[in-house]
Amino acid sequence: MPFVFNLSGLTSASPLWQSLVSPAITFAGTLVVVWLTNRYASKNLRTQRSLDDQRVREQWQDVALREREQRAHDAAEALKERTTQKRRDVCLRAIDALARLQAHMATMATRFEDYDQKPLQDFVAAAAQAEVVVEPTTAVFVRKLASEVGRLNMKLMIQRIPLHKAHTRLQRLRAMDQKIVGMKGAISALENMFNREMISFYEYMFRSMKDLIPARVDALTAVRRDLELSVEDPEVLRAYLEQDYSEMLRLFQETVEKANQG
């Protein structure tokens, strides 16, 4: 006859029921806790790995971005330095050419041969080069200065004509026979006229160079800003240069007056 397991005798108070069911429940609960713990830990591990990977990627992206920015900054600084150096070289040549031209203009009254235009040509060429490398606003001031210097040179050439004519006539008279009646008086009169023309020329030159000061100051101030150099107050510099030229004119006039008195 078949075996029939009768559970009717297993009650909650039965020691056999407790001995069989309680360990099973405990074991099952332990398995569930372990499974849940492992699952939670695995999920946390995957999440942490994902966060770590994301953090590493962000760090590498940040490093790459900083490197690109640093390379761009270095390239910009190198370009800026090359530009500044080029501007410095070209502008210094223009300033030197202007100083040489002004010194050359001062000799117009004593140069009676064909007037050498090379100093003017050198300055115009240097100013044209400066216009190319400086900032557009600075180029306007440089162009204005070059134009005014060219006009000044032309004005002095015109102012020089009477002086040149007086010198030519004086040389002709001196080459003639000094025994001719009235020759010495004619020479003396022509020498006086020559001296007056010389004085008139230098007074005109000083005043004309003083009129050039505003354009010089504007161009010089703009160039110094482009070269990132310290800039004086334009009004102070203008006042100083005007006073300097006025003083030179005064000293020249005093010298002439004393020479006439002597």
Angstrom distances, CA of residue 106 to CA of 20, 36, 78, 87, 102: 127, 103, 42, 29, 6
Scan for tokens 């022509």, then name that residue.
190
Provide the H-helix boundaries in the chain.
15-105, 118-133, 136-175, 183-211, 213-226, 234-261
Burial, 15: exposed, middle or buried (Cβ in 10 Å; 0-12, 13-18, 19+)?
exposed
CA distance 209 to 159: 14
CA distance 247 to 140: 30
Q: How confident is the model at residue 190 (pLDDT cuts 50, 70, 90)?
A: confident
- Which residues neighbour 230 within 8 Å (Cβ) at sequence distance 6 or greater? 224
What pLDDT is stored for residue 10 in this prediction?
A: 46
CB count within 10 Å of CB 124 equals 19
CA distance 200 to 155: 13
Burial, 160: exposed, middle or buried (Cβ in 10 Å; 0-12, 13-18, 19+)?
buried
- Which residues neighbour 138 within 8 Å (Cβ) at sequence distance 6 or greater? 219, 222, 223, 225, 226
Domain ranges of the chain: 94-261
User: Which tokens is 143 given?
Assistant: 């162009």
CA distance 106 to 211: 15
- Among 175, 238, 236, 189, which residue's Cα sits nearest to residue 211? 238
pLDDT tens string 233-258: 888 888 888 888 888 888 888 888 88
Whether 4 shows a pLDDT value over 50: the answer reads no
Whether 44 shows a pLDDT value over 80: the answer reads no
Scan for tokens 């390239």, then name that residue.
75
pLDDT tens string 67-120: 888 888 878 878 788 888 888 999 999 999 999 998 888 888 887 776 778 899
What pLDDT is stored for residue 50 in this prediction?
A: 76
